[in-house]
Amino acid sequence: MTFTSIEFLLFLLIIIIVYYLIPNNTWRKFFLVVSSCFVYGCWESYFLLILLLDIGVAFSSGLLFQHQVRRKPLVIVSIILLLVPLSVFKYMTIRSFALPLGISFYTFICIGYVLDVYWNRIKVEHSILDFSLFVCFFPQIASGPIARASQMLPQLKDKRLLSIENLSSGMRMLLWGFFMKLVISNRAGIYVDAVFQNYELHNGVSLLIGIFLYSIRIYCDFAGYSLIALGCGRMMGYRLMNNFDRPYFSPSIAIFWRRWHISLYSWFRDYVYIPLGGSHCARTRLFFNIAVVFILSGLWHGVAYTYLLWGIYHCILSCIERVTSSSRERLWASFGILESNRIRRMMNVIVTFILVSFGWLFFAMPDIHSVLGVIRRIVIWDVPFLPVTNLAYFLIGFVVLLGKEVLEELYSNRDDSRISMNPYCTIILLVVMILLFGAMGGGQFIYFKY
Amino acid sequence: MAKRKKIRQLLQSLFVTMVLLIAADQILGGICCYLYRNTSTGEIGQQNYCITAANERVLILGSSRALHHYDTEIISDSLNLSCLNAGLHGQCIYYQYALLSACLERGYKPDLIIMDIVERDIEISWDEFFNLDVAIAQLSPYIGSYRSIDSLLSVSPWQKQVANCSLLYRCNSKIIDIVRDQISDRVPDNGFLPLSGNRINVNISERGQIHQSFPVEPLKSIFLQKLITLCQSNKISLFFVISPSCSDISHDGLRDIHRIADQNYIPFLDMEWAFDDAALFYDDTHLNKEGARKFSQMLASWVKRYAMEE
């Protein structure tokens, strides 16, 4: 069941109706856990066993922390136990067994909980029902956001009331997610697949368009999924963690990583980077910490060495950015241009976008040979491959999204009413655009494979 | 009291949203479908002509290979019968059956149908073309107007049937085509679209070495048989033809088509390897204008000879 299918929409509708018809909060949560397990088990039944195993390990570890004097060995054992299924399925590639969907996401949710309890950041959760729902809540199980216990568990304690605001904003999030996936990502994907799968036959201009479109595709695909998850959660009264904050408007690599896949990179920040010493340490140690985070981040995406190279690429960019920050500042100052200058900010945004987009090549191509092949061909300029109809549909969607994000970026700290639109208009416009311009057969979300 | 008021407000909002959505779908989707069905120029205009106005005595059916290979003027002159080429890029047996049924439903009955055969008329499609979805998408603005097109939808998965309740969905990915064809100056003609030039990138002498087959799609076999039955019950002469190709056509799929043709006494002309001259091809699978001219001459004389023998 794909999240953009009619089956999913019908499933969601039934879940929401039944959820609000159940008067008791415990039964509601029980219903959501059963539904989430059903959705998850629909993909492969053995996926469910691994999920339940992880839930069991993390939950019992939390309980044991209360009584155990030697907490350190316990936390190590718990984390190892949680990492075993991930390592076995993801990095050892068992033949005839598919990678359990979302295993990287829920393993990190469980590890985060165990560490939070170990560091006394949160209280131990005593309800297996609440804990199970926190880990396996169906909108976030496949590709996050990676929920935090401190944010999610308190929400599960109270009964969520049916409200127009939640339903309306949830529905709009859901529709924006569909719009980003079906109208933009799938359309961009048609061009990207055509060009990158036969990059030897395409010239530099086509490949540059392909790189640009891949950046838009991966953003709209993943942010689209995250919005669908957030929308589903919101319609049931839960606020899941926001995963994207207009990352392509970031003026630096460091800021980009605060706005891209926020739930993962804040996870790395809180559970890896800060415990290693964060940025309050000697420069060499700082670079080491950055390297650890980005290498782990690359490996989190998969066993392919291209992911590792992608991590190293971003590590190098981040280190260079830190090393050159004061000299770049002096250079700007010599021209009398302050940090608040709009042109300077725009230039920074463009440079960051180009650097990030180039890095996506490691994601898009299957091996380093292909990455180098694309780079070599970029210098060959000729008339590009332009499937006009598909690109026109993409452009319609892209312009709408760009307009929305520019307005949000410009007015995010000001009066929201200046950019808000009537909810009815938003819903109808989005539905009309999805139905008219969407590429419906675009397949599964990219991040479902991680 | 407050709770009841809240629920009433909520139900009102949901009702208004639903009404607005249905209204937008029916009005905007209705306009789009109307524009599609009433486009009289370009590719859509050509299809509309075939469904709503064609009366030629020879009808060519098939995919892009039919569209680019069958020079209707030559066939028409040789057979002394008017001829229409209704080939369409990426379409297979589903589209051809629905198109012919719609023509018959309107009362147009050709005397002779030449169907260009490719293996993907019976094998499972490995890409987004040559399948039921693409046939339904092409004809969906006609849903409700022709029983034959509705029947095509009825064999599709329930999700497709639900989605096609929306008029907007029926016009999915068609707006730009509609606008383009509305301003196109290509008026409906005999349908043949020649390709100029030569972009071939395979060695013609290496033909016959690569065979990649896919399993037979049972529903395609059923529709192939249905098309044959439709022609037989309407006393329409049907010919199956494999037009020249530069690359390989899977022979596993073609064997099944051959078998069905033999069982139903359908004349079958296999000209896959009739041309060895790469200059007659536009690309791996399509003839260019010169190739189409030569092929059409050969085809017309074969049809003529066959008709005389019969």
pLDDT, tens digit, for every residue of B44-100? 999 999 999 999 999 999 999 999 999 999 999 999 999 999 999 999 999 999 999
Partner-chain contact A437 B175, CB within 8 Å: yes
Query: Does the pLDDT at position B161 exceed 70?
Result: yes
User: For residue A202, is pLDDT > 80?
Assistant: yes
Binary contact (A427, B21; C-beta < 8 A): yes
pLDDT of residue A448: 65
Burial of A71 (0-12, 13-18, 19+ CB in 10 A): middle
State pLDDT tens for residues A8-51: 999 999 999 999 999 999 999 999 999 999 988 888 888 899 99
User: Residue holding tokens 């971003």?
Assistant: A314
pLDDT at A415: 53
Give the residue from A160, A164, A169 with the most B CB atoms within 10 Å of its CB, the best one to mutate.
A164
Write the pLDDT tens digit of every residue in A252-303: 999 999 999 999 999 999 999 999 998 888 889 999 999 999 999 999 998 8
**Which value, in Å, is the radius of gyration of the alpha carbons in chain A?**
23
The reply to whether residue B176 touches residue A5, judged by beta carbons under 8 angstroms, is: no
B168:A393 CB<8 A: no
| Helices of type H across chain B | 2-24, 30-37, 42-52, 64-69, 72-79, 93-106, 132-139, 147-154, 158-163, 167-170, 175-182, 218-233, 251-263, 289-309
Question: Which of 98-157 (B) contact A at CB < 8 A?
Answer: 128, 133
Provide the whole-model pTM: 0.91
Alpha helices in A68-148 (DSSP H): 71-86, 103-118, 128-136, 138-141
Average pLDDT, chain B: 90
Residue-averaged pLDDT of chain A = 91
The Cα diameter of chain A in Å comes to: 70
Q: Which residues pair with B83 in a beta bridge?
A: B58
pLDDT per residue as tens digits for the range A75-91: 999 999 999 999 888 87
Mutation target vs B (from A197, A393, A394, A436; most B CBs, 10 A cutoff): A436
Chain B residues touching residue A440 (CB < 8 angstroms) = 163, 172
Q: For residue A272, which amino acid is it?
A: V
Q: Pick from B234, B236, B280, B259: which is nearest to B68 by CA?
A: B280
Per-residue confidence (pLDDT) for residue A59, from 0 to 100: 96
Inform me whether the C-beta atom of residue A14 falls under 8 Å from chain B C-beta atoms.
Answer: no
Spatial neighbors of A307 by CB under 8 A, at least 6 apart, are A298, A299, A301, A362, A363
Residue B123 has pLDDT above 70, yes or no: yes
For A307-327, the pLDDT digits (tens) are 999 999 999 999 999 999 999
Residue A436 at interface with chain B, using a CB cutoff of 8 Å: yes
Q: Do B168 and A7 lie within an 8 Å CB cutoff?
A: no
The conformational region for residue B42 under phi > 0 = left, psi -120 to 50 = alpha, else beta, is left
Chain-chain contact of B10 with A167 (C-beta, under 8 angstroms): yes
Interface check A164 vs B, CB under 8 A: yes
Q: What is the mean pLDDT of residues B145-157?
A: 93
Provide the shortest C-alpha distance from residue A220 to chain B (in Å). 19
Nearest to A435 among B17, B128, B166 (CB): B166
Give the separation between CA B308 and CA B288, rounded to whole angstroms: 30
Q: Chain B residues with CB inside 8 Å of A394's CB? A: none
- The torsion angles phi and psi of A286, rounded to 5 degrees, stand at -60, -45
Task: Give the whole-angstrom CA distance, residue A89 versus residue A381.
Answer: 43
Closest CA to B62 of B89, B42, B102: B89
Contact of A432 with chain B, judged by CB distance below 8 Å, is answered with yes
Which of A164, A432, A439 is closest, CB to CB, to B13?
Answer: A164
Residue partners of B211: CB distance under 8 A and separation at least 6: B248, B250, B251, B252
| CB A278, CB A289: distance < 8 Å | yes
The fraction of chain B above a pLDDT of 70, given in percent, is 94
DSSP state of A160: P
* Peptide bond just before A145 cis, omega within 30 deg: yes
Query: Quick one: pLDDT at residue B211?
Result: 58
Complex ipTM over 0.90: no
Give contacts of B156 with chain A, Cβ < 8 Å.
none
Q: What tokens appear for B13 in the block?
A: 């909002």
Confidence of residue A444 (pLDDT cuts 50, 70, 90): low
Is B6's CB within 8 Å of A162's CB? Answer: yes
Q: What is the per-residue pLDDT for B199?
A: 73
Across B281-306, b (16+ Cβ under 10 Å) vs e yields bbbebbbbbbbbbbbbebbbeebeee
